[in-house]
Structure 1
């Protein structure tokens, strides 16, 4: 998996309303539609809606970078001065996410696929 921005997750308070808006924007129904996450893939870019995002501390969209070793990259970012928002956490099926904040207050997300 190459390190690149491949997901942008938006927090939403009204999942059905947001799903309708993004379906109109993207022009097709979501590829993944669950009560805890709704997502589309457009030209390799994942666009997702998180109905629990605000409860989890999200204040706006978060870009996620896919990495092979989430713990190592997370630790390297913290060593470089990033503030911890969310330690690497399993989000189902062995996939993990983590978030940090840079010195300017920007949230950076990391995402790793399940181990093979």
Structure 2
């Protein structure tokens, strides 16, 4: 077992075809305005969760929602997951503010996201 801990799913990204329409639906669902609102990403922070809307699946080419597990050491977690049979889909890379993200596919093709905040 690796020393890298998992802090649970705290972020879920949803690919959307119409960002404006999706923003209205999620604003109504969550009862708050988005904290991040740009043409390439809309994000809501509610009750310890981050819900993100990604137009057309973004650069990740998402085709379904992806749950992101927050981890203390993304490289160690990637190593443990690949040793267990997962395949790296998107290698760890910084997305701003010291945040690292990566995705893997499990043995059934499900996409699992990882996030490490520095």
Give the paired residue count: 114
1:73 to 77, 85, 99: 77
Alignment pair present for 1:89 and 2:99: no
**Equivalent runs, 1:1-116 vs 2, <5 Å:** 3-53=7-57, 55-113=59-117, 115=118
Bigger strand fraction:
2
TM-score after normalising by structure 1: 0.89
Normalising by structure 2, we get a TM-score of 0.88
5+ residue gaps, structure 1: none
Q: How big is the shift at 1:56?
A: 2.2
Report runs of 4+ in structure 1 exceeding 3 Å deviation.
none
CA RMSD of aligned residues (A): 1.6
C-alpha deviation, 1:2, in angstroms: 5.7
